[in-house]
Structure 1
């Protein structure tokens, strides 16, 4: 590896490399050596920027949680437009077609990572908890606009959608389900809440 070459946005380069390794080979293949090799930099680069590998992984997950929060803002802004089913179908597809499913596997596989994430304030299963909050907030906004029935249990609907979405996308070897399949699940879950199709 060349030395003395400046790397722009080291964290981003390492995070992107970690995602590629994670998606290609799973959480057990994610090592500091695999990440730095994928990023095309010396192993010491990771350790100069992060206290240890679990600190790196915690920052990776927190970065992805930040992306979910940005997605949540966009989803909330869509309340009152399009249809509830279409908005939720797009949100679940965007969420789970990303690295979210693989991140959940990573968090589940590493006790130290879970502990660090909980110390950083993450609750429940990191990524899925934030995704559930995103969906719940959106559904509450739609309920306020009268696009869901007044007594719609948005928290339970959100949990059901995230659980169903995770099951739809997990274990498929990188092949996403058809949008029609995601839409069918969303339609079934929100039908009782009075959402227009």
Structure 2
């Protein structure tokens, strides 16, 4: 591989290279050498921009978690429109895209990475799941405020059921298999929210 290639916006190009390795080969293949080879640059480029490889991975995870914010804004913007189940189905499908699903096991199996993420943000040990949890919780609270789910709805329990169930649906498959279709996700969501939607304010 070339060793003297100059990268413009090196950090973002290294993040993009890591994402390609992660999606193609899985978390076990994600090494500093694999990332720099994929980016077509010298290994030293990564260490000029990051303290070490776990520092690089922590910033990669936080960068990708931040990208979920746009999807989360779309969910919050749907409050009071469509159906609660349809809105949550779309949100879970977007939030648990291929990158998020690939990053979660990377975090799970790297103790130092989880520690870095917790240092970077409170509750940040599983940053992707944390982002999904906070946004879905906020959406459900908004729907409760406008009377589309029951006033006594347990937002925390609903959120955990949706995020945990959604993660299992999307993560329990091989990298080469297709993600669950919308009908499968909708069945899960409808089962979780059925009671609080049926008991919503008149």
Could you say whether these structures have the same fold, taking a TM-score greater than 0.5 normalized by the shorter chain as the test? yes
Q: Distance in 1 between matches of 2:68 and 2:164?
A: 16
- Quick check: 1:178 aligned with 2:181? yes
- Structure 1 unpaired stretches of 5+: none
Give the TM-score taking structure 2 as reference length: 0.91
> Which residue matches 1:96?
96
> Which residue matches 2:130?
129
Question: Size of the alignment, in residue pairs?
Answer: 195
> Which residue matches 1:157?
158
> Which residue matches 1:69?
69
Q: Which moves more between the two structures, 50-59 or 173-182?
A: 173-182
Query: Are the structure 2 counterparts of residues 171 and 41 from structure 1 closer, same or farther at C-alpha, using a change threshold of 3 Å?
Result: farther
Please list the CA deviations of residues 131-170 of structure 1 after superposition, one character each: whole Å capped at 9, or x if unmatched: 1111000011111111111111111111100100110011
> Which residue matches 1:86?
86
> Which residue matches 2:197?
194
Would you say the 8 A contact 2:22–2:29 is kept in 1? Answer: yes
- Quick check: 1:8 aligned with 2:8? yes
Give 4+ residue runs of structure 1 displaced > 4 Å after superposition. none
Deviation at 1:122, TM superposition (A): 3.9
Q: Distance in 2 between matches of 1:111 and 1:176?
A: 28
Structure of higher RCO (CA pairs closer than 8 Å, 6+ residues apart): 1
Would you say the 8 A contact 2:107–2:114 is kept in 1? Answer: yes
> Which residue matches 2:46?
46
Would you say the 8 A contact 1:21–1:29 is kept in 2? Answer: yes
Q: Which moves more between the two structures, 69-78 or 126-135?
A: 69-78
Q: Which moves more between the two structures, 86-95 or 69-78?
A: 69-78
- Quick check: 1:145 aligned with 2:146? yes
Give the TM-score taking structure 1 as reference length: 0.93
> Which residue matches 2:109?
109
